[in-house]
Chains A and B, each alone.
Chain A
Amino acid sequence: MSRDFFDELTDPTQEPCDLAPANETDRRLLEEWTPLLALLRAGAPENGIDLIPRWERMLRDAAVEPVRHGPTRWQRWGAPVLRQAAVLLIGLALGATGGWAAVGKSQPAGKPRAGDHYSMDERQLMFRVLSQENGPDTAVSLQARGELARCVGCHAAALKDRLGPVPLGMVVPRG
Chain B
Amino acid sequence: MELRLLEPDAADMQQVQAGCLDRFRPLVARHQSAMFRYARSRLGSRTLAEDAVQEAFLAAFRGRHTYDASRPFRAWLWTILANTCSRLAKKRAERATTAFAAPPEEWVDPGASALAALERQDERRQLAELLAQLPDEQADAIRMRFFGELSFDEIAAVLSCSAATIKSRVRYGLEKLAGWLKSSQESPR
Contact = CB atoms under 8 A, between A and B. Distances in A.
- The B interface, classified by DSSP as helix, strand, loop or mixed, is helix
B90 interface: no
Interface in A59-78: 59, 64-70
Nearest to B112: A46
Contacts of B33: 47, 49
Nearest to B185: A35
Interface string B142-181: 1001110100100000000000000100110010011001
Contacts of B58: 64
B139 to A, nearest CB: 12
A6 B107 CA distance: 30
B178 A33 contact: yes
Interface residues of B, number: 49
Interface string A49-64: 1111011100100001
Contacts of A52: 25, 28-29, 32
Interface residues of A, number: 34
A46 B110 CA distance: 10
B124 A45 contact: yes
A55 B107 CA distance: 25
Contacts of B177: 36
A132 interface: no
A48 interface: yes
B121 to A, nearest CB: 10
A97 to B, nearest CB: 43
B36 A49 contact: yes
B25 A39 contact: no
A33 B181 CA distance: 10
Interface in B27-61: 28-29, 32-33, 36-37, 40-41, 46, 49-50, 53-54, 57-58, 61
B62 A43 contact: no
A54 B152 CA distance: 32
B178 A68 contact: no
A55 B14 CA distance: 18
Contact of B152 (A7, A44, A48, A59): A7
B28 A45 contact: no
A51 B57 contact: yes
A51 B167 CA distance: 32
Interface of B: 21-22, 24-25, 28-29, 32-33, 36-37, 40-41, 46, 49-50, 53-54, 57-58, 61-66, 107, 109-110, 120, 123-124, 126-128, 142, 145-147, 149, 152, 167, 170-171, 174, 177-178, 181-182, 185
22 contacts: A6-B171, A10-B146, A10-B170, A12-B149, A33-B174, A40-B127, A43-B126, A45-B49, A46-B107, A46-B109, A47-B37, A48-B36, A48-B109, A49-B32, A51-B28, A51-B32, A52-B32, A59-B22, A64-B61, A65-B62, A66-B64, A67-B62
Given A39-B181, A46-B109, A59-B25, 8 more contacts: A10-B174, A32-B182, A35-B182, A36-B174, A45-B40, A47-B33, A47-B37, A51-B57
Interface of A: 6-7, 10, 12-13, 32-33, 35-36, 39-52, 54-56, 59, 64-70
